[in-house]
Structure formats: structure tokens, C-alpha cells
Amino acid sequence: MKYNVMKNRILKNTIAATLLGFSSLCVWATPLPAQPHVYVEGSAEIEVEPDMMTFTLSIQTVDIDLAKAKADVDARSRLLIEACKKFGIKTEDIATTALNVRPEYEYKENQRVLTGNNVSRQVDIKLRDLKKYPEMMKTLVDAKISETINTNLTLSDKKAVEEKVQTAAMDDAKARAGRLAKSQGKAVGDPWSISEFNNRGNERWELTPNRQLMGSAAKEVSAMRVGDSAEPFEPGVMKISAQVYVVYLLK
């Protein structure tokens, strides 16, 4: 008798859990209100000038004497930091990784022979005054700190620009909703839902905010071929965009 009571209780709990899961699925599958509404996508795009450049340098030495290789990388690292200070770059805008030490081998007569120790370190530098770019590039090249220098233009306050373009996208959504509602003799009421995700498409299972920053220029410069402080340089513009999906109630 106790067994049957327990069995019935488990069955009821299972049915309840199944119905709850089905109810949640239905709510998720139909993320729209029952009352009259309008569903719109708002979008906006802003052009901004980049105001910061990131330099990435890999300082590397290979030597059979590990101590000598390390000393060379450390010396060039200190030289790089001193060069940055001359351009007013603050300590927090210089990021260095720990030393990476890797032995290198080659096979001679079927035996693995140590040919040297590869010691390297990566350094990232943020230059916030783009007017100093040509002179700084020349300084880095002349100092022969690294064989290659990678540069990337970006924004120092990307979050603020993202918030600005997102607000503009919301304004666009409300304007679109207003035009649609007016065409049907209605007025836009309160927003029922606001999302950065398109919940009505199949992509709702892989939600990713639809925000893009485009135009970030990156290049690798051969340090042995750049030496002119009058290097032509134009940062250009970057485009940042945002989309929002809003459901407004109608009145």
C-alpha cells in the first residue's frame, strides 16, 4: 500500500514538472503580449575618430646561454619602457607579460641536440596622443627593440560610445513604432519588452548582442624598413552600430 502511495506521488510530481517545463517553453517560444502591440527593430550607427593606438611588440632572443638570452630581453624591455616615458606614456598603459623560456632543438645524426634557448616577452603599449605616433614609431624602430611592431587603432572609451549608439537605436525604435501605429490609427503605449537580442529568430538559442565596432585598423610594420619620422598617418574614422528589439503596447 505504501509503495502505491509513493508511486502515485512520484508520478504526480513528474507530471507537474513536465507541465511547468512545457509552460516555460511556451512562454519562451511566444515572447509577445496577448494585447495589441507593435514589434520593431531600432538601429543606429555612429562614426567616431579613433583616439588611441595600441603597440604590440614581441621582444625575443635565442642564445645557447640562457642567462645571456634573458639579460638581452630584460635590457631591451627596460629600453622600451624608458622610451615610452619620453612620450608621456603612463605606467598603467604599459603591460608586459612574464618571460617565456623555450629550449630549441634540432636533430643531428638521429639525436636531438639543443641549439639555443628562446627567451621572449610581449609588451602592449597604449598611446593616447595620436599626434605622437610617427615620432614614437621612429624611436622604437631606431632602438631596434623588436623586429616587428603591430599597431591597432581603437577608442579609449568604447563603452561610452556604445551607450550613446544604443540610446540612438532606442530612439529609432520608438520612432518606427510611432509611424506604424499612426498608420493604423493607434498610438504607442509603454514598452512591453526591450532586448538586444532578436528573440523571434532561430538565433535565440545562441544569444549575442548585435553590437559592432568596425574600422579598427591593424598592421604589422617591419622594423627594419621604417625610419622616416614623417611617415604619412591618417587615423580615419570608425563606425559603431547597435540594434535593439522592442515590443510596444498600442493604445
DSSP string, the chain: -HHHHHHHHHHHHHHHHHHHHHHHHHHHH--S-SSSEEEEEEEEEEEE---EEEEEEEEEEEESSHHHHHHHHHHHHHHHHHHHHHTT--GGGEEEPPPEEEEEEEEETTEEEEEEEEEEEEEEEEE--GGGHHHHHHHHHHTT--SEEEEEEE-TTHHHHHHHHHHHHHHHHHHHHHHHHHHTT--EEEEEEEESS-TTSGGGGS----EEEE---EEEEETTS---TT-------EEEEEEEEEEEEE-
Residue 222, pLDDT score: 45
User: For the chain (length 251 residues), average pLDDT per consecutive 10?
Assistant: 50 45 44 90 92 94 96 94 92 93 92 94 95 92 90 91 93 96 95 84 46 50 46 80 94 92
CA distance 55 to 220: 10
pLDDT recorded at residue 28: 44
What's the pLDDT at 231?
A: 66
pLDDT at 94: 94
The three-class DSSP label of residue 144 is: coil
pTM reported for the whole predicted model: 0.64
CA distance 96 to 78: 11
How much is the pLDDT for 145? 92
Q: Grid coordinates standing for 38? A: 507593435
d(CA 87, CA 85): 5
**According to the model, what pLDDT value does residue 203 have?**
43
> What is the grid cell recorded at 198?
532578436
- Give me the residue label for grid cell 638581452: 72
